[in-house]
Chains A and B, each alone.
Chain A
């Protein structure tokens, strides 16, 4: 049986799961498909298993925090999670993006599609605070097990020592009383 030709992932996805596709974006010859977070697993199964697509490698899952920018129709929520897929057969990449609200930050896991997503999702839970439903082992990865907060969020401080000037001396002294000496 001959190898199928590469087909357009956007058209194929729109045909198979029409209500999952929220938008498409093309920038610097990279295609991003914005999908509905609840259906991410079905979308991934389709992209991995359909002849002509065969995105059989998950390169990366990245989360981005849009705080403090206000929501726009392009970016309706605070967090975006990007899945970067690669097809070994057709040597091409694809990005699938979902937007996740701040107050209900969870996305279904894709570890059933690619087991390699296990640690990538754990890191996003640890660093961004986005929970992945159905993940077999949702624990912190890089930070200590009893750490508070999610460091890669934009409202989390970098954690260096603030230089004390006269205008912020009182603020700093609240946490470091010995610093006023």
Chain B
């Protein structure tokens, strides 16, 4: 049986028949009531202001209530993993930026940690501290976009531009570091691309001084707002063990009360030195996931303040010249530097024919990077397990029984980025 509106014109009808799909294709995926037409199949198509990117949701609706939600991704698939197989490790870092484009440093981090683990490359203490500062700034920037767009979708439109005003300050700092506001490829295997410029720390200090009061502003706008609470409390509830079984991670998992933060459990890049709390929710609903991220603003600021206070001196990138190019000044003085530079620029460094897996805590959840080398200069296989991928797959469980308006809130609360899920 096909679902179609019957036009009066026979010609028009034939024209339609060429592209309409049969509901038979969806047997087993949607409930049996859709087969008879009792429930309606609605396409919340890739072009939609609330789906945070090109996400297609096939909704089976009983009136306004969602019976099944079938996500269809792949509209932003750019083949990053296959592309990396034809690039050397240093060049591949720029490709990893493009996955989760709202917090590009986390993707860089996952890939660089995997390369460093595979090759056994050291990272000096100064680089680790700089990386932590950048990661936490990236977390704040990503949460600001999340808050702005989530509130915008739910109708609280004034929050959006306030969040972006703060994000401008962070993007200015990223531009100081790497020359690019977003996607700077600042992290490289062995450390960071270049040292902190002189104007970075004073700007960061200014940001750290004014930001707490701004977060309090956002909190007061939404936290006790009766409209906000009405629309978010009790919506999209997921039990802790169900969330774990579905593969949810990060703040979306912590909203259900599961105490797992990779920065605490299996720390990397010196996170064990910093004191910070891991905010947890209780009910596993949209409001708790929202409030966990609001509290993460404060925790990230705490980490940045501690890291800023004592940034160790020393090199900003590993000195292992087999992997890291020498500074340009050295090229005029040393023959070995020229040879290393030449080898790294023409060929790149080699990694053993082994596999490693590294996971980092991105603002969205756990980014896992599986890296398999060939013994040569290009990887055999890179696979990124991205949090948005897992969270979109959980949408069916989260949204069952809710209305479309609630679905908008649920999508906002799991904080998806389609570049992250499709790669």
Q: From residue A53, how far is it (CB to closest CB) to chain B in Å? A: 15
Q: Which of B32-40, B71-79, B151-159, B179-187 contacts A (4 or more CB under 8 A)?
A: B71-79
Q: A88-B260, A142-B74 are in contact. Are A119 and B82 (CB under 8 A)?
A: no
Q: Chain A, interface size: which category?
A: 35 or more
Pair B370/A84 contact, Cβ less than 8 Å:
yes
Known contacts A30-B357, A82-B370; A116/B245 CB under 8 A: yes
B375 to chain A minimum Cβ distance, whole angstroms, is 10
The CA of A91 and the CA of B120, in the complex, are separated in Å by 22
Instruction: Decide: B246 and A115 in contact? CB cutoff 8 A.
Output: yes
A114 / chain B contacts, CB cutoff of 8 Å: 245, 247
Give the distance to chain B from A124, nearest Cβ to Cβ, in Å. Answer: 9
Interface size on B, residues (CB 8 A): 42
Residue from B82, B118, B258, B394 in contact with A151 in the complex, judged by beta carbons closer than 8 Å: B82
- Chain B residues with CB under 8 A of A136: 28
Q: Is the CB of B354 within 8 A of A27?
A: yes
A63-93 interface with B by 8 A CB criterion:
63-66, 82, 84, 86, 88, 91, 93
Q: Is A39 interfacial (CB 8 A cutoff)? A: no
Min CB distance, A175 to chain B, in Å?
A: 20
Binds B, one of A3-11, A14-22, A54-62, A100-108: A54-62
Which residue from chain A places its CB closest to the CB of B375 in the assembled complex? A69
B198 CB to closest chain A CB (Å) equals: 37
Report the bound CA distance from A27 to B83 in whole Å.
26
CA distance A42 to B73 in the complex (A): 31
Measured between alpha carbons, how far is A114 from B265 in the docked complex, in Å?
A: 21
Q: Are B83 and A120 in contact (CB under 8 A)?
A: no
- Interface flag for B86 (CB, 8 Å): yes
Q: Assuming A64-B372, A137-B29, A143-B77, is B393 touching A118 (CB within 8 A)?
A: yes
| Contacts of A22-63 to chain B: CB distance below 8 A | 27-28, 30, 32, 56-60, 62-63
* Complex alpha-carbon distance, A159 and B356, angstroms: 28
Q: Which residues of A contact B389 (CB under 8 A)?
A: 119, 123
* Inter-chain contacts of A59 with B (CB < 8 A): 357, 359, 366, 368, 385
In the A-B complex, the 8 residue pairs with the smallest Cβ-Cβ separation, listed nearest first, are A116-B247, A60-B385, A142-B74, A62-B383, A119-B393, A62-B370, A64-B381, A142-B77
What are 30 A-B contacts with C-beta separation under 8 Å?
A32-B355, A57-B244, A57-B247, A59-B359, A59-B368, A60-B370, A60-B383, A60-B385, A62-B357, A62-B383, A63-B381, A64-B381, A82-B357, A84-B357, A84-B368, A84-B385, A88-B258, A93-B357, A95-B355, A114-B247, A116-B245, A116-B393, A119-B389, A119-B390, A120-B385, A137-B29, A141-B73, A142-B73, A142-B422, A144-B74
With A95-B355, A159-B79 known, 13 other A-B pairs at CB within 8 A are A27-B355, A60-B385, A62-B381, A63-B381, A63-B383, A82-B355, A84-B357, A91-B266, A95-B357, A137-B28, A137-B29, A152-B381, A158-B86
